[in-house]
């Protein structure tokens, strides 16, 4: 019974964290980063500012949390792929499985031009770049561990896991940019398959 209660508490904590992060994203997209206060985010998520502070040190951390969660979900999905599957096939499917986190992705609202423009501005916000870099570094470290487990390499000594993780991080950034800027809008799965398909083929020159 104690285990069940502990599990329920952890689920509720995770739900609150997600609600705060998505509230921060929605408000920033709609009103701009400078116009959003922590009090606004907490109210949007239905919690107190003290509760917000229990989860995040700033509104930037709250916004970028979903970026890190997405990367962790992709790493987790990679660990679940069949052992004999070629590495880039496994990574592509893991990205498809983990990118959306079971939630609408930014491009899912592609028909709403104001939403897309707000997302573009949020991603480009100078005050968030440090947070995005920190989240990206943490995500690459975690992904390198997943690659090392899959390939039987040592992430502290072998270059391969870190190299793959760095390439995947860059590729996911390209996917996000393409998702937000492509005209006409493109579906996420098509962009992911295109980007990772090029990597799997060794990045041949486009003709």
Q: Residue 50's pLDDT band (boundaries 50, 70, 90)?
A: very high
Please report whether residue 26 resides in a domain: no
Q: Which of 26, 22, 20, 65 is nearest to 38 (CA)?
A: 20
Q: Which CATH number goes with the domain that contains 83?
A: 1.10.357.10
DSSP per-residue string spanning 105-142: -GGGGTT-HHHHHHHHHHHH-GGGHHHHHHHHHHHHHH
Distance set, CA 17 to CA 10, 23, 32, 123, 128 (Å)? 11, 10, 21, 20, 19
Indicate whether 53 pLDDT > 80: yes
User: Mean pLDDT across the stretch 40-63?
Assistant: 96
Instruction: Please report the pLDDT score of residue 71 as a whole number.
Output: 86
Please report whether residue 38 resides in a domain: no
Report the C-alpha gap between 146 and 160 in whole angstroms: 12
Contacts (Cβ under 8 Å, ≥6 apart) of 69: 18, 21, 101
Q: Contact, 25 vs 66, CB < 8 A?
A: yes
User: Mean pLDDT across the stretch 92-100?
Assistant: 86
Please report whether residue 104 resides in a domain: yes
Instruction: Please report the pLDDT score of residue 40 as a whole number.
Output: 97
Please report whether residue 32 resides in a domain: no
Report the C-alpha gap between 55 and 70 in whole angstroms: 17
With tokens 């500012």, the residue in question is 49
Instruction: Please report the pLDDT score of residue 106 as a whole number.
Output: 46
Report the C-alpha gap between 67 and 23 in whole angstroms: 14
Question: Mean pLDDT for the chain?
Answer: 88
Dihedral angle computed from the Cα positions of residues 164, 168, 170 and 175, in that order, rounded to the nearest 10 degrees: 160
Q: Which of 80, 64, 95 is nearest to 172 (CA)?
A: 95
Please report whether residue 84 resides in a domain: yes
Please report whether residue 172 resides in a domain: yes
Indicate whether 191 pLDDT > 60: yes
Contacts (Cβ under 8 Å, ≥6 apart) of 125: 28, 33
Please report whether residue 102 resides in a domain: yes
Please report whether residue 4 resides in a domain: no
Task: Specify the number of domains making up the chain.
Answer: 1
Indicate whether 72 pLDDT > 50: yes
Domain range for 100: 60-201
């Amino acid at each position: 019974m104690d285990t069940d209660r502990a599990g329920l508490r952890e689920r509720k904590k995770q739900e609150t964290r997600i609600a705060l992060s998505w509230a921060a994203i929605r408000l920033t997209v709609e009103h701009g980063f400078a116009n959003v206060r922590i009090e606004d985010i907490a109210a949007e998520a239905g919690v107190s500012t003290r509760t917000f502070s229990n989860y995040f040190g700033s509104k930037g951390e709250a916004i970028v949390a979903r970026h890190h969660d997405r990367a962790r979900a992709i790493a987790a999905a990679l660990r679940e792929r069949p052992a004999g599957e070629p590495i880039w096939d496994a990574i592509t499917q893991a990205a498809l499985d983990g990118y959306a986190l079971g939630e609408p992705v930014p491009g899912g609202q592609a028909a709403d031009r104001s939403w897309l423009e707000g997302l573009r501005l949020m991603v480009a916000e100078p005050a968030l770049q440090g947070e995005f870099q920190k989240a990206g570094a943490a995500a690459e470290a975690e992904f390198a561990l997943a690659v090392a487990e899959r390939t039987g390499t040592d992430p502290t000594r072998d270059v391969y896991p870190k190299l793959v993780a760095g390439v995947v991080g860059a590729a996911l950034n390209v996917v996000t940019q393409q998702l937000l800027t492509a005209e006409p809008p493109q579906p996420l799965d098509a962009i992911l398959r295109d980007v990772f398909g090029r990597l799997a083929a060794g990045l041949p020159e486009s003709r």
